[in-house]
Amino acid sequence: MFHKEGHKIIFLAFVFVVGCSLLADNFIPLAWLRIIVLVLLLGFLIIILQFFRNPKRHTTLNDKQVVSPVDGKVVVIEEVFEKEYFNEKRLQVSVFMSPINVHVTRYPISGNVIFSKYHPGKFLVAWHPKASEENERTTVVVENEAYGKVLHRQIAGALAKRIVNYAKINDKAIQGGESGFIKFGSRVDLFLPLGTKIKVQLNQKVRGGESIIAEAND
């Protein structure tokens, strides 16, 4: 199953690969070189298909838990001052996505969307310290009574040239449901209340909509 954001790109990639394959078959006389070109074209198509795959995820709904919004690797766990929305200290957990990860962004908690904003910006590499403030990004805040407010921020990387955000203010977010998509590699930051129990470690691989990032501290 492929994500709707990739339908046009997949079609264009398929046309490109078929066209180049026909040209190679007709204009490259050396058999070994022709085979190399065809293999490279096939590899390119497989990468495009893999990038836009949209596997089903089974989210166990729990208003006191935060699930990972994306697939990837945890690269940041630290206390920071979040200055766009909260203007106070929060626990930041960041997940880095490589180009081969699933790039669907999912709601980390259920609740009401109370903030959603797009910021144009640069395309620094996603792990750059200033990426979360200077790169193209979107910020979404969801609130529920059991956990409170959770901010998740999609951040474009060096390869990510388009961020898609479906979240609108007053939407009803469903934990694990789609909130957006980032095309070609990036990062998502979570900003959680202080005192939250973090359930992941640095460099741990997580799955969007399934891996538990944190839970409320009773």
Please give the positions annotated as active site.
186
C-alpha span between 149 and 137 (Å, rounded): 19
Strand 205-206 vs strand 137-144: parallel, antiparallel, or unpaired? unpaired
Number of CB atoms found within 10 A of residue 168's CB: 9
H helix or E strand, kind and range, residue 20 = helix 7-27
H helix or E strand, kind and range, residue 66 = strand 65-67
Give me the residues paired with residue 186 across strands: 97, 156
Residue 210 class from Cβ within 10 Å (0-12 exposed, 13-18 middle, 19+ buried)? Answer: middle
Q: How far is CA 194 from CA 26, 33, 68, 138, 197, in A?
A: 64, 59, 18, 22, 9
Tokens of 117: 């904003």
Question: Who contacts 195 (Cβ-Cβ below 8 Å, separation ≥6)?
Answer: 217
